[in-house]
Amino acid sequence: MDATVEYQSVNRPDLVPAGAFTYPVSQTQETRWFGFLLLPKFTLLAFSAALDTLRIANQLAQKPLYGWLVVSEDGKAVSSSSGIDVDVHLALNELKPDTYLFVCSGNNGHQAASDDVVNGIRRHTRFGGKLGGICTGAATLARTGLLTGKRFTLHWENQPGFVEAFPDLVPSAQRFERDGDLLTCGGGVAATEMMISIISRDFGEDFAIAVSDMCLNGPDVGTRSEQRSSIAKAISSRNPRILAVLRAMYDNIEEPLSLDELATGAGISRRQIERQFRQLLNEAPAQTYRNIRLERARTLLSETNLSVMEIALASGFSSPNLLTRHYKDRYGETPHGHRGRIKAIEDT
């Protein structure tokens, strides 16, 4: 096995910062260590939301309840998706196997980790290491083969591309998931919620609520909600039949339903659908449906290596030419143009 480094909380005075408010904790365990593996273009918000929750726990307790190490493939700084470079403490092969490792990535999901990183993660688990994923970290875990039969999640924006790349794996719509030792979240504030759930298990709900309050996260540390707001909130409507039509549109993208089929499924007439869509969304239902499918195509262009033909079929368009025409009308660029622009950004 590659050599690992020794790390102790006494050598990390930054682990217990001073603060105006404290919450006494009877520490009955050694410092629990977490590693955060940063992959290129990782999401800074999700990473910092997870790490800083641990910092707040230590600050409140005035004890090193938790330790953290920032890790990269080679021990060098990693650039986030916002262009900010983050220094790290050590390389992946230096991580001790008893350190819980979170994989942190961003929009490039399942392509972010090199083969060496994937093998390094597998090696970490072979020696007893436990794993989690933050934002799209689950996509790298999927490449290791360690998600089979597991309940997990990743950011909702990246789930369509994930399903295309890993058709046998189905991510959850929840903000974070726990399946045994496996912890995954969709990023953003969900990373905070996931870490608070760890703190609650380790030191009790009262202390976890205190940490949550410091994060301005609210007192309910036990609730896990879906990542996206409901469709009802999105259109400020409580009309159950129109909501049923919208849900059917989202559920039937690859093989779109006709307006008559949508009407029958919702128990409403076609004319009522057309009138209420105009009132609520200021557009025809066909336009809404097409835009939903174009959003799926845009996600697949960014998240997968599928051809434009394959993406057209996966998003319910009969040909790449039809997809291209509607795509350019909506986004002002062709699918090939979008992909070329994204590649140019990634190469800079």
pLDDT at 2 (0 to 100): 43
User: Over 80: is that where the pLDDT of 233 sits?
Assistant: no
78 and 42 in contact (C-beta within 8 Å)?
A: yes
pLDDT surpassing 70 at residue 7: no
Confidence bin at 1 (pLDDT 50/70/90): very low
Q: Assign residue 82 a region: left if phi > 0, alpha if psi is -120 to 50, beta otherwise?
A: alpha
- Banded model confidence at residue 14, pLDDT cuts 50, 70, 90: confident
Instruction: Report the pLDDT averaged over residues 201-225.
Output: 80
- Alpha-carbon Rg for the chain, nearest whole angstrom, is 23
Distance between the two ends of the chain, CA-based, in angstroms? Answer: 36
Location of structure tokens 């719509």? 173
For residue 191, name the pLDDT band (cuts at 50, 70, 90): very high
Residue 172: the pLDDT is: 94
Q: Which of 26-30, 74-78, 228-232, 306-310 has the lowest mean pLDDT?
A: 228-232
Per-residue pLDDT tens digits for 256-265? 999 999 999 9
Q: Which residue has the higher pLDDT, 46 or 229?
A: 46
Domains parsed from the chain with CATH numbers: 9-214 (3.40.50.880), 231-347 (1.10.10.60)
**Model pLDDT, residue 225:** 67
**Who has greater pLDDT, 171 or 216?**
171
